[in-house]
Structure 1
Amino acid sequence: MTAWIILPVSLAAFSITGIWIVYAMAVMNHHVCPVENWSYNVTCTEETAKPGFPKTCCTLQDIPLISKCGSYPPESCLFSLIGNVGAFMVVMVCLLRYAQIIEHRNHCWLNTSGLVSGCTNAVGLVMVGNFQVDHAKTLHYVGAGAAFPAGILFVCLQCLLTYRVAVTALDYWMAHVRVALATGALITLVLSGIFFIHESFVLQHAAAICEWVFTVVILIFYGTFTYEFGTVTTETMLAGLQRNLSHGPGVMIGDDVQAGTLGSSTTTKSLKSPGGSSTSTHLNCTPENIAML
């Protein structure tokens, strides 16, 4: 096992806990209404809500969308922090996963597309977190338009890659779990988009709930990479570097990438299960291979 297993768990735990804290702060500061509230008014003329209690008179502006919860200080400060830190961890997860797939000699367009979509998701998260919807609506929606589709594309590609490198029954079980998570994320994203374009208070509120479910499911999906990251080693990093930096005749670039050397032949170790440190796969780390860097 390696310390890298902490990264996916930290991403999921930090982000999920953080956004719910942002939601709680927004409710207590009367910036949004609670998710359990389904009653909305066109306007509100009642007296100011009691400090420490949620609002009782809610309008369309009080629907608890994730972005709306992070629109005003002090919760907007925490929302930006979560977006920035979360985006950094997403990029790290994507890079490690990209290198790990290459290490298992399964580099292909799916792997490259997964890396690109994951990084696009991270860029979108930075924009969503730093440009609040009530103050920079255009930039916020551009970020959301990049983050949400890229996020769902990333999880779908990772489902395919999980099946591709699966060896043991446990590997296939993890692939099935990821398909279930990806399916749930796709359904909630589509429903959120459909409900959001309507002016109905009830449908707008339903869109907010779907958005919350989608975000949590995506973060749980990222957390499942703990299963594979126990096998990440220095050779995993070298696998990614060899694929990106080496263009000599000794490196085979195609649907399957195999470790090669300049002017000498090496023996590639047999593939093992991507999950579990006892069955990890490493590239040969000979002086010739290192010299290629």
Structure 2
Amino acid sequence: MTAWIVLPVSLAAFSITGIWIVYAMAVMNHHVCPVENWTYNVTCTEETARRGFPKTCCTLQDIPLISKCGVYPPESCLFSLIGNVGAFMVVMVCMLRYAQVIEHSHHCWTNTSALVSGCVNALGLVMVGNFQVDHAKSLHYVGAGVAFPAGLLFVCLQCVLTYRIAETTLDYWMAHVRVVLSAGALVSLVLSGVFFIHESFVLQHAAAICEWVFTVIILVYYGTFTYEFGTVTTDTMMAVLAQRSSLHLHHHHQPTGVIMGGMGSMGGMGKSAAMGCGPHGLKSPGGGSTSAHLTCNPESTAML
């Protein structure tokens, strides 16, 4: 058990709690309407604001989208803080997960794609948090358009990786849970996008609810990495460095004769490595160590 288990839990707890606090502040400051209010008007007459109470007359501008909740101060300050800190923690989680999968001898395009999508998700979160929708609409929508699909892609790829390195029954159960969370995130994101493009008050409000559901599901998904991060050690990051170093040395120092002589035997191996995961001489999930080194045959070298 390592201290890294705190990271995914902290990301989920900090972000979920933070965005709900932002929502509560926005409601009490009359910046958005409560999520339970489905009654909207084209125009609202001037109402007497009651401090600490939500609005009673709501227009399309008062729909409680997550971005709308973080437009005006003081809640906008907390919203930006959550976006920046959350993005940093997302990058940390993605890097540790990437290293952990490599440590289990599974270096593949799926793992690399998951790392890239996670970092893109973090970049989008920074843009969403720092460019409020009412003040920098274009940049905010670019950030949201990047963050949401990238986050969905990340969780889907992690489902594949979870099944690929699973060994115990509990590992497979965790993979099943993540598939359910990913399916819920996909449905809520699609519905949010479909509802958002309509001007109906009801559909716009439904889009806001779906957006909240999607965000919470993704954050809960990040929290599930606590299950694997209990085994993260200093060797986890060293596995990535060792793997990179071995590839670098193998590329620059392998004799030409060996490369030419081994082209035929490496043909099948190269295809499988390009399509999926392959062993790289790193620690396996079972605790042993494997090696997959190319040997230099003196006889074949002499013949060349």
**What TM-score, normalized to structure 2?**
0.85
Separation in structure 1 between the aligned mates of residue 55 and residue 284 of structure 2, nearest angstrom: 62
Q: Gapped runs of 5+ residues in structure 2?
A: 255-268, 292-304
Deviation at 1:49, TM superposition (A): 2.2
Match of 2:83 in 1: 83
Deviation at 1:241, TM superposition (A): 1.8
Match of 1:207 in 2: 207
2:196 and 2:207 in contact (8 A); partners too: yes
Q: 1:88 to 1:179 in 2, by over 3 A?
A: same
Match of 1:258 in 2: 280
Match of 1:277 in 2: none
Separation in structure 2 between the aligned mates of residue 242 and residue 44 of structure 1, nearest angstrom: 64
Deviation at 1:224, TM superposition (A): 0.2
1:4-19 paired onto structure 2 within 5 Å: 4-19=4-19
Deviation at 1:258, TM superposition (A): 1.8
Classify the secondary structure of the residue corresponding to 1:126.
Answer: helix
1:67 and 1:133 in contact (8 A); partners too: yes
Q: Gapped runs of 5+ residues in structure 1?
A: 260-267, 273-279, 285-293
Separation in structure 2 between the aligned mates of residue 236 and residue 281 of structure 1, nearest angstrom: 14
1:67 and 1:128 in contact (8 A); partners too: yes
Q: 1:283 to 1:37 in 2, by over 3 A?
A: farther
Match of 1:271 in 2: 285
Deviation at 1:244, TM superposition (A): 3.5
1:188 and 1:211 in contact (8 A); partners too: yes
Deviation at 1:281, TM superposition (A): 6.7
- Tell me which amino acid in the other structure corresponds to 2:124: G
2:87 and 2:122 in contact (8 A); partners too: yes
- Tell me which amino acid in the other structure corresponds to 1:258: H
2:27 and 2:55 in contact (8 A); partners too: yes
Separation in structure 2 between the aligned mates of residue 258 and residue 106 of structure 1, nearest angstrom: 8
Deviation at 1:243, TM superposition (A): 3.1
- Tell me which amino acid in the other structure corresponds to 1:271: P
Match of 1:61 in 2: 61
Separation in structure 1 between the aligned mates of residue 84 and residue 102 of structure 2, nearest angstrom: 28
Separation in structure 1 between the aligned mates of residue 138 and residue 288 of structure 2, nearest angstrom: 46
1:121 and 1:146 in contact (8 A); partners too: yes
Match of 2:142 in 1: 142
Match of 2:119 in 1: 119
Q: 1:37 to 1:215 in 2, by over 3 A?
A: same
Separation in structure 2 between the aligned mates of residue 142 and residue 3 of structure 1, nearest angstrom: 35
Q: Please give the per-residue CA displacement for 1:105-125, whole angstroms capped at 9, x wherever unaligned.
A: 111000000000000000000
Classify the secondary structure of the residue corresponding to 2:249.
Answer: coil
Q: Which has the higher helix share?
A: 2
Separation in structure 2 between the aligned mates of residue 28 and residue 270 of structure 1, nearest angstrom: 53
Match of 1:262 in 2: none
1:18-37 paired onto structure 2 within 5 Å: 18-37=18-37
**What TM-score, normalized to structure 1?**
0.88
2:16 and 2:219 in contact (8 A); partners too: yes
Separation in structure 1 between the aligned mates of residue 150 and residue 7 of structure 2, nearest angstrom: 20
1:196 and 1:203 in contact (8 A); partners too: yes
1:239 is the counterpart of 2:239: yes
2:63 and 2:208 in contact (8 A); partners too: yes
Q: 1:109 to 1:199 in 2, by over 3 A?
A: same
Deviation at 1:269, TM superposition (A): 5.2
- Farther-moved stretch of structure 1 (183-192 vs 40-49): 40-49
Task: Give the structure with higher Rg (CA).
Answer: 2
